[in-house]
Amino acid sequence: KAGVTQTPRYLIKTRGQQVTLSCSPISGHRSVSWYQQTPGQGLQFLFEYFSETQRNKGNFPGRFSGRQFSNSRSEMNVSTLELGDSALYLCASSLVAGQFSGNTIYFGEGSWLTVV
Amino acid sequence: AQTVTQSQPEMSVQEAETVTLSCTYDTSESDYYLFWYKQPPSRQMILVIRQEAYKQQNATENRFSVNFQKAAKSFSLKISDSQLGDAAMYFCAYRSALELTFGKGITLSVRP
């Protein structure tokens, strides 16, 4: 079956603009989480959604937001882009949320965002 | 909050040899899951192996195995018969109720 699909794969934005990234989870998966990866900070958790509800949010400013639709697809939005937002944004999906679910988290190929 | 520590930023191994990647974590929980992910140059995160904390038996997946020491909060990955395709960045991760916490990663190079 198809894996986690992220679009777009690559994009370049100008400082001050906003961007929306999309993620389609593996069929049947209801939990979607987002991570930011940069050389300096490594992999940092942004937020997780389950059944259209945000379960948790990482330590990021309010410019970072997300949502999940009834078909489990998710989008994340970054407004008023800053140079430091340049990163690889990874989306991941799992069957259900929570540590005791025991299910594995599968990642997409990521969306490369460059802010100039 | 949980923390995951990978103290070695880089390691190198000769093809066909065995290498062990270290990982320690800190948690107050008794039941949890641990993972090793591989990230090749394509940047796709690929699951290598997972371990349930309530299981005493160490997980094994073909050439990959772990040494899980719950009391010591240690979770190392052993790669046997290393292949050129094993060259990548490897991340240790802890699954909590609300998120997956990653270590800083270790870059593994394989010498032909």
* Residues pairing with A77 in the sheet: A20, A65
And the tokens for A83? 């140079």
The CA dihedral of B11, A107, B77, B51, to the nearest 10 degrees, is 160
Mean pLDDT throughout A35-62? Answer: 92
Phi, psi of A25 (to 5 degrees): -75, 170
A42/B100 CB distance under 8 A: no
Q: Which of B39, B99, B104 to mutate: most A Cβ within 10 Å?
A: B99
Nearest to A98 among B50, B97, B101 (CB): B97
Give A87's pLDDT tier (boundaries 50, 70, 90).
very high
Quick check: A55 pLDDT over 60? yes
Give me chain B's average pLDDT, please. Answer: 93
pLDDT of residue B62: 95
Q: Do B45 and A107 touch (CB under 8 A)?
A: yes
* pLDDT value for A101: 55
Among partner residues B31, B104, B105, which is closest to A100 by beta-carbon distance? B31
